[in-house]
Structure 1
Amino acid sequence: MSIKSILLASALAFSTALPAFADKANDTLVAAFNKEVQTLDGLYSTSRENLILSYLTSDQLVEINLETGEYEGALAESYTWVDDRTIDFTLREGLTFHDGAPVTVEDIVYSFDWIADENSKTRRGAFIRGWFDSAVAVDDRTVRITAKNPYPLMLRDIAVFVLTRKAGSYADGNPDALTQNFNGTGPYKVVSFDMGAGVTLERFDGYYSGGPKAAGSIENIVVRPIPDWGTVTAELLSGGVNWSFNVPDDTAKDLGNLPMVDHTTGVSTRVSFFVLDAAGVSDPEGPLTNKLVRQALNHAVNREEIVEFLVGGSGRVIHSTCNLGMFGCDVDVTEYDYDPERAKALLAEAGYPDGFEFELTTYRERPIMEAVAADLAEVGVTAKINHVKLSALSKSRAEGQLEAFQNAWGFYATPDVGAISNYYLEGSNRNLNHDAEVQGWFKAALETVDQDERAALYAKALKKVADEAYLLPIFQYSQNYVHSVDVTFDAPMDGLPRLNEMSWK
């Protein structure tokens, strides 16, 4: 018997001792999250778990249509561009919060003002403060949102970052007001929340019809934090769990071979890459300030093998920090094929015939990071991996201490290169190239709503970034989902699971 078979057999045996909460007869779907939900308030967490939860419990003025890339009215019945920095949104009639209170234009104004206020310390405010000027009630159904300057991603930011809150929700400026008890507008309302036990949701019968978001066909959704994949496996096999995501490739494949479990895979908008200190922020004389060295590193990494053996599923090799099909990304750029001999020659030309040593700061996918380090070692470069928590990486990055760092960027499901602009704009601590031309092109692209002009500016920027090898792109993520065979689930195009779209077979 194989090791995997033994593990599955053990899981089956263990599952007999666990209670089964997932019950089609009781119309209750149980979703297993690998990480704990720390707060019910999506304004104060951008974890993938909270994004999934917020989609169920909160609404925005508009939603993106993944098929067309267009923004459709959600809480807003319609919207009209008044000029290139002003949009009027007309609210639907009969909207209510989960507590039964009507949704008003005053609630929308309050939400924008709270999120944009630096003192509220939301995790989403930084994304709108740069452009947001004002939110004003025009009449009892119309709110006018004005930007400081023309900004092409204005609708994106409203759709992603401005979650609607009832006016006065954060009484006395208390940011923790909705952490434990939540009042939203989404298709599901919170019934209970306990750290360690998870979240229980109930379909909101007062949810509006005719919008872009599914109202939900399943009555109850229970979110359970289960950090151990062996336990998730056992619960799936016993019927205690119906669905889980972000499942390790081997586990997902093994489960998918069983008759009671389906394995679904899909791409994610998230990409993985390394930022290299080309500008010498951490060390003005550092080896990564040399273009030939950066090109050598790009040639040294075997992206194809990493994707095939470590990413798996629907993962893809990338040569730029975006996904093909995304606006602004369909550009022919320099591609660095796997060529260790070429990498060695470039290193010798750069004055490093015996290689060099540098620190690579990472925070996720340790096996992949170690594979990259092993590839670099083959050409004489020693990458000392400093594997830390994301908070520690962010602190060191802000202090300008990193020679090279890993990043995984998900674009907030935005099909536009502008969503990764903070790696290229002047003043951002994520930008370690400090290229005035690239900075200027990105800045200009974010200050015009002319799509042809934006595409041309992004093309020039991405081509130069690749030519100069300012970054080391590696792969586009794959996302594994497992679910019981009695539920329908389709992998989302943007990597954000929408549990309200699931149904029983």
Structure 2
Amino acid sequence: MRLKSTLLAATLLSSLFTPALADKVNDTLVVAANKEIQTLDSLYSTARENVILSYLTSDQLVVRDPETNEYLPALASSYSYVDDRTVDFTLRDGVTFHDGSPVTAEDIVFSFEWTASDQAATKRGAFIRGWFESAEALDGETVRITAKKPYPLMLRDIAMFVQTRKAGSYGSASEPNTNALTQEFNGTGPYRVVSFDMGAGVTLEKYDGYYADSPKSTDGAKTIVIRPIPEWGTVSAEMISGGVQFSYTVPDDTAQNLGTLPMVDHIPGPTTRIGFLILDAGGVTDPEGPMTHLKVRQAMNHAVNKQAIVDHLVGGSSLVINSLCYDGMFGCTQDVTTYEYDVEKAKALLAEAGYPDGFDLELWAYRDKPVTEAVAADLAKIGIKAKINYVKLSAFSKARAAEEAPSMHGTWGYYATPDVGAIHNHFAAGSNRNLNRDPKLEALFDAALSTIDDEERTDLYKQALQMSADMAYHVPIYRFTENYVAGKDVDFAPPSDGLVRLNEITWK
């Protein structure tokens, strides 16, 4: 029901007598983040908040244009392919870190080598170690990046994962300090960190020394404050009173309620994130487990009422998916084997597999609890009694790494990359996200990520997605919608990839 809560109504009344705490006049945008930023160093966090923060504070050699999907020179003034695995980057003149020191070829080489280093133990290293061979300063302004083999997502990885750091930022090679930039940060982006406290959040200001002609917008507010506010009721109250002017990933009911008020806009938009179940088809947690049977996995696919989840729990622009991708993404196809919602068919398949009474199942999850509960309720209808282990992401990741989770309610945002290859770690050999352990499927993804021929990649992705659907290795459920709320003075257009770029938000 789209009814205003008592909290919203009461806060609205009080706000009539309370001046705004952050506004257009002060050129200060206060953003509510549902999760706390725990470090300023995005090399050591894959949290969405850190992705958003790093876009403001750290420029890389290139940046992706979300509208054209082109990779535009950023710290580099230009780049060129030497061959199908080698790219030369010419550095831009006059680029400095926030401490005023120049960005050099040595810094770029250091950034690649540190990110990829096992010793550095960055959260980003796993994304590039598979392809990265070397970074070499050819001269003072040219850096050559060489891959081990042709890799079509090289520029994506450079833009997203190879965070630019000043050489020596983490101490000596013999005694590295991986916490060196946790509390204080020296970046290259359009905003510099003014203050940081895990309880209070991050305050950023435009960097006066930022280079001209950047592909990133510099039209945003002079000051941006990212406040951690875990309770959506509190976010609602702050939006109404003026203490907060923007928030993202807002639950559908909260966003719709706020959108009915005169001082708040509800702005829905698309996102690259999808939701699905990961099933232990390969017997990783139990070699004789029920999900090693194809008919059991098919039954689970038939049991989940995807459309009801989209209609009643996700809302917005969410859509049912049949593959682990969405229409419009490079290499995606939804024209695969599908499993309509059919409880009786699911029961029959379970019986054929030798489980007429169902079985007990551990279902791990770390977000979107109502969806996980709906999935568990659907599985219960066919006799699968799912015990939900709803934990924080850190515990979820630990259980996944230890191969202790037989089924997981997974989500994947593709790092805002509209390319099927960006989910390859769910199909890659040796990945703890890959519970199907199918060598044929692994080979298809490996081949797709070893060529820069787009036609060949498209065909390989199609084969892989069809095989995954035929074998029911996952239960694809939905493409997320992204709900934003903004104050009436805020001028915001939802990005096509769902990645909030706070520097692009302006005032009306």
Shorter-chain TM-score bucket reads over 0.9
The correspondence of residues 188-267 of structure 1 with structure 2, limited to 5 A, is 188-267=191-270
How many pairs align?
Answer: 505
The aligned counterpart of 1:119 is 119
1:37–1:316 CA distance, 2 compared to 1 (3 A): same
2-structure distance, mates of 1:139, 1:21? 51
**How high is the TM-score relative to the length of structure 1?**
0.96
Counterpart CA distance in 1 for 2:337 and 2:210 is: 49
Amino acid in structure 2 at the alignment position of 1:223: I
Q: How does 1:443-458 map to 2 (within 5 A)?
A: 443-458=446-461
Structure 1 residue 286 and structure 2 residue 289: aligned? yes
Indicate the RMSD between aligned Cα atoms, in angstroms: 1.8
Match of 2:22 in 1: 22
Per mean C-alpha deviation after superposition, the further-off stretch among 490-499 and 425-434 is 425-434
| Structure 2 counterpart SS, 1:170 | coil
| Partner residue, 1:139 | 139
Q: CA deviation at 1:331?
A: 5.0
Measure, in 2, the Cα distance between the counterparts of 1:217 and 1:11: 29
The whole-number CA distance in structure 2 between the counterparts of 1:64 and 1:198 is: 27
Instruction: Give the match for residue 62 of structure 2.
Output: 62
In 2, Cα distance between the equivalents of 1:260 and 1:423?
Answer: 43
**Would you say 1:311 and 2:314 are equivalent positions?**
yes
1 CA distance for matches of 2:303 and 2:438?
24
Distance 1:150 1:55 in 2: 27
Which secondary structure does the structure 2 equivalent of 1:118 belong to?
A: coil
1:353 pairs with 2:356: yes
Q: Does 1:272 align with 2:286?
A: no
Alpha-carbon distance in structure 2 between the residues aligned to 1:316 and 1:136: 45
The code of the aligned residue for 1:28 comes to: T
1:171 maps to what in 2? 171
Q: CA deviation at 1:18?
A: 7.5
Paired AA for residue 444 in structure 1? A
Deviations 1:152-172 (A, max 9, x none): 111111011011111222223
Partner of 2:329: 326
Which sits farther off after the overlay, 226-235 or 263-272?
Answer: 226-235
Task: Deviation per CA, 1:190-240: give whole Å up to 9, x if none.
Answer: 111123122111111222232321123321111112222222222211111
SS of residue paired to 1:255: helix
Q: Which residue of 1 aligns with 2:94?
A: 94
Alpha-carbon distance in 1 for matches of 2:324, 2:60: 28
Contact 2:333 2:465 in 1 (8 A): no
Residue of structure 1 equivalent to 2:397: 394
> Could you give the per-residue CA deviations for residues 402-445 of structure 1, whole angstroms, max 9, x where no partner exists?
22112111111111111111111222222111212111111111
Task: For 1:309 and 1:170, locate their aligned partners in 2 and report how far apart those are by CA, in whole Å.
Answer: 48
Q: How high is the sequence identity, in percent, across the aligned residues?
A: 64
Change (3 A) 1:372 1:402: same
Asked if 1:468 is matched to 2:505, the reply is no
The answer (yes or no) to whether the contact 1:203–1:216 under 8 Å persists in 2 is: no
User: In structure 2, the residue corresponding to 1:234 is in which secondary structure?
Assistant: helix
1:477 aligns with 2:483: no
Amino acid corresponding to residue 86 of structure 1 in structure 2 = T
Unaligned regions of 5+ residues in structure 1, if any? none
2:421 alignment partner, one of 393, 418, 422: 418
2:232 & 2:400 partners in 1: Cα distance? 32
C-alpha contact (below 8 Å) 1:18/1:240 kept by paired residues: no
User: 1:46 offset after TM fit, Å?
Assistant: 1.4
Distance 1:19 1:54, change over 3 A: farther
| Distance in structure 1 (CA, Å) of the matches to 2:403 and 2:53 | 34
> In structure 2, what residue type is equivalent to 1:480?
N
Distance 2:397 2:221 in 1: 40
Map of 1:371 onto structure 2: 374
Most deviating of 191-200 and 56-65: 191-200
Distance 2:29 2:378 in 1: 44
In 1, Cα distance between equivalents of 2:78 and 2:3: 57
Query: What is the CA distance between 1:283 and its match in structure 2?
Result: 1.8
Q: Is the 8 A contact 1:187 1:216 kept in 2?
A: no
In the TM superposition, 1:36-47 aligns within 5 A as 36-47=36-47
Deviations 1:446-495 (A, max 9, x none): 11112111111111111011011011111111111111010101111111
Amino acid in the other structure paired with 1:118: D
1:30 is paired with a residue of what secondary structure?
A: strand
Quick one: structure 1 residues 3 and 445, their matched pair in 2 at CA, closer, same or farther if it must change by over 3 Å? closer
Q: TM-score, normalized by length of structure 2?
A: 0.96
Q: Which digits, 9 at most, give the CA deviation of each residue in 1:287-337, with x for residues without a partner?
A: 111111111110111100101110111111111111211111135211111
Query: Is the CA contact 2:3–2:257 (under 8 Å) kept in the aligned structure 1?
Result: no
Instruction: State whether residues 19 and 240 of structure 1, in contact with CA within 8 Å, keep that contact through their aligned partners in structure 2.
Output: no
Q: How far 1:381 moved relative to its partner?
A: 2.0
3-state SS in 1 of match to 2:188: coil
**1:44-66, CA deviations, whole angstroms, 9 ceiling, x for partnerless residues?**
11111111111111101111122
- The residue type equivalent to 2:364 in the other structure is T
Seen in structure 2, the aligned counterparts of structure 1 residues 436 and 462 have a Cα distance that, compared at 3 Å, is same
Write the distance in 2 (CA, Å) between the matches of 1:32 and 1:284.
Answer: 45
- Which amino acid in 2 is paired with 1:180? Q
- Give, in whole Å, the separation in 1 of the partners of 2:428 and 2:202: 39
1:382 maps to: 385
Change (3 A) 1:219 1:400: closer
CA distance in 1, matches of 2:289, 2:96: 58
| Contact 1:11–1:230 (Cα < 8 Å) also in 2 | no
State the Cα distance separating 1:23 from its structure 2 match.
2.1
**Alignment equivalent of 1:362, drawn from 350, 362, 365:** 365
Give yes or no for contact 2:276–2:478 (8 Å, CA) kept in 1: yes
Using the TM superposition, give the Cα deviation of residue 67 of structure 1 relative to its aligned residue in structure 2, in angstroms. 1.8
- Do the aligned partners of 1:134 and 1:146 also contact (CA within 8 Å) in 2? yes
Deviation for aligned residue 1:256 = 0.5
When residues 104 and 12 of structure 1 are mapped into structure 2, their CA distance, relative to the original with a 3 A threshold, is: same
The answer to whether residue 505 in structure 2 is matched with residue 502 in structure 1 is yes
Question: Aligned equivalents of 1:166 and 1:18: distance in 2?
Answer: 45
SS at match of 2:192: strand
Distance 1:17 1:36 in 2: 30
- 1:171 is paired with a residue of what secondary structure? coil
SS in 1 for 2:244: coil
Say if 2:194 and 2:203, in contact at 8 Å, map to a contact too: yes
Which deviates more, 356-365 or 245-254?
356-365
Residue in 2 that maps onto 1:110: 110
Q: Which structure 2 residue ranges, 5 or more long, are not aligned?
A: none
Shift of 1:278: 1.1
What is aligned with 2:437?
A: 434
* CA 463–400 in structure 1, closer or farther in 2 if over 3 Å, else same: same
